[in-house]
Chain A
Amino acid sequence: MSILVIADHDNSTLKSATLNVVAAANAIGGEIVVLVAGENCGAAAEAASKVAGVSKVLVADNAAYGHQLAENLSLLVADLGKGYSHILSSAGTTGKDFMPRVAALLDVAQISDIIRVESADTFVRPFYAGNAIATVKSSDAIKVITVRSTGFDAVSAEGGSAAVEAVAEVKDAGVSSFVKAEMAKSDRPELTSASIVISGGRGMQNGDNFKMLEAIADKLGAAVGASRAAVDAGFVPNDMQVGQTGKIVAPNLYIAVGISGAIQHLAGMSGSKVIVAINKDEEAPIFQVADYGLVADLFEAVPELEKAL
């Protein structure tokens, strides 16, 4: 068996989710080849070659792949992927965008968001907002899979010395182009890989009040997240949404502030090791999953918490 892992990267750095995907590939077993497709992505490719357990890195360095356009990337991956038993990527928004196209081009199913590998053809994935966990078996010759990072412990970013090989072919579907990006800038750790996450909900009342959570985040080295209600209300940007249809997080500590605990929110954070809830409504469903619940007005409790840390 040989497994093609599509790297998650921004041309200059390899995103940590790739390390979780390689871990999933290890669980399947077989030779692991990583594809880095991008533009001026030599640094990301070099980082990929050092990842433990990777035997080869393919680099497709071309303007056609610079912005990870799904139309172009999927043509490349479907073509290269023909020789592999499995094609894996992380279930981030890039993987979710291009991988189903790869599957359709190869006329195979995609298995989304796996959290466990049972065998080379059988995988475990949550559905119904995480309220049910399915074990699914694939009958396809090539398995196209997106991996939920929180399901697999990252392999080491160091220790490997894979050969790096250039891929000459350029696939440009010619139907899409990049227009612009407005990326959030933050010095805090990434939500999906942070070991502590503090999230705010509608109870925060406005975006300014999130500064209270940021102050705690800075003390704890935490990432800041939010509920859908907080994002919809415009308190914070969309990339902070945690939940069924946002980001999935599983930190050591998750602190939910002014969040009621709707099933769609729980779907994104109930895998956290320790959950703290601060809510003034003692009936709030979030308390059913919280290890430590504090029934309090957040406008008193949060500043007090910051001082106590």
Chain B
Amino acid sequence: MKVLVAVKRVIDYNVKVRVKADNTGVDLTNVKMAMNPFCEIAVEEAVRLKEKGVATEIVVVSIGPKTSQEQIRTALALGADRGIQIETDEEVQSLDAAKLLKAVVDKEQPQLVILGKQSIDSDNNQTGQMLAALAGMGQGTFASEVVVDGDKVNVTREVDGGLVTVGLKLPAVVTTDLRLNEPRYASLPNIMKAKKKPLESVSPADLGVTLSPRLTTLKVEEPPKRAGGIKVGSVSELVEKLKNEAKVI
């Protein structure tokens, strides 16, 4: 079975972003970039499916500027077989990302598509669901367990009240949550080998998609700052403050 994995290049999760002084966006100059953590989990899951003999080929796709080839190479070093870069310097909103991924799905005909549940930059949590809708596929979002069984997949999902398991016909879309697996690190020999793995570059036009952003960002601001607090010396002082000063208990 062929597995398609979508990986996004985003700001490293350790970096605290700064809002630009002119309020047009966040400052990404000289900021460390990395693979979206949820996409790392998606790659890891695909690799494990291959190790189990369930997956036969892993194709990884990323949409973005030329530099996003770095994240595809990382995925190849982790065990993916082949990469597709959809190159564009334009802003790609989730609906367009889903349309581009749908075009790749049409071409590649994977049985399973794995995405992260959320990009840690946009915090959108949309693309996998949109892709599934466009492709008419079932979806297992926020997955903490994925079990492929013949022409079906059972996905256990992390939901507000606990865990829910759904059964999906293949082909299907899965989006990863934090507890699905713990991603491995790429070894040096595998990083070297990844350089020789095939990586094809296409444009949105090659896939027959014209980007059409629907949302315009009018301004970006810092969140309101919290007023500085105090340190209390003891539990009894804490309780006294909560009762008489903050009046919250």
> Contact mask A152-195 → B, CB, 8 Å, 1/0?
00000000000000000000011111111111100000001000
User: Is residue B49 within 8 Å, beta carbon to beta carbon, of the partner chain?
Assistant: no
- Inside 8 A of B236's CB, which chain A residues have their CB? 308
Say yes or no: A130 contacts B223, CB within 8 Å.
yes
- A56 to chain B minimum Cβ distance, whole angstroms, is 26
Question: Which residues of B from 197 to 230 have beta carbons under 8 Å from A?
Answer: 214-223, 226-227, 229-230
Interface of A with B (CB < 8 Å)? 67, 69-71, 74, 92-94, 96-105, 107-113, 122, 126-140, 173-184, 192, 196, 220, 228, 231-232, 237-239, 244-245, 247, 252-253, 263-264, 270, 273-276, 282, 287, 289-296, 301, 304-305, 308-309
B122 surroundings in chain A (CB, below 8 A): 127
Top 4 A-B residue pairs of the complex, sorted by shortest distance between their CB atoms? A100-B129, A175-B138, A101-B133, A104-B130
Q: Indicate if the CB atoms of A104 and B248 lie closer than 8 Å.
A: no
- Confirm or deny: B26 has a beta carbon within 8 angstroms of a beta carbon on chain A: yes
Partner of A173, one of B98, B138, B144: B138
In the assembly, what is the distance between CA of A245 and CA of B142, in Å? Answer: 10
Q: Are A101 and B17 in contact (CB under 8 A)?
A: no
The secondary structure that dominates the B interface is mixed
Known A175-B137, A275-B229; contact A183-B162, beta-carbon cutoff 8 A = yes
Residues of B within 8 A of A182 (CB): 162-164
A128–B121 touching, CB < 8 Å = yes
User: Which B-chain residue is minimally distant from A102 (CB atoms)?
Assistant: B133
- The chain A residue with its CB closest to the CB of B124 is A112
B235 touches A110 (CB 8 A): no
Contact A181 B160, beta carbon cutoff 8 Å: no
Nearest B residue (CB) for A124: B221
Q: Known: A101-B133, A177-B167, A291-B246. Contact between A308 and B214, CB under 8 A?
A: no
**Cross-chain contact B248 with A100 (CB below 8 angstroms):** no
Which of B26, B121, B249 meets A196, CB within 8 Å? B249
A100 x B94 contact (CB < 8 A)? yes
Roughly how many angstroms separate A92 CA and B159 CA in the complex, as a whole number? 8
> Is B239's CB under 8 angstroms from A305's CB?
yes
Q: Check if B214 sits within 8 Å of A138, measured CB to CB.
A: yes
Asked if B11 is at the interface of the complex by the 8 Å CB criterion, the answer is yes
Alpha-carbon distance A92/B161, docked complex (angstroms): 10
Docked complex Cα distance between A139 and B213 (Å): 9
CB <8 Å contact, B130 and A101: yes
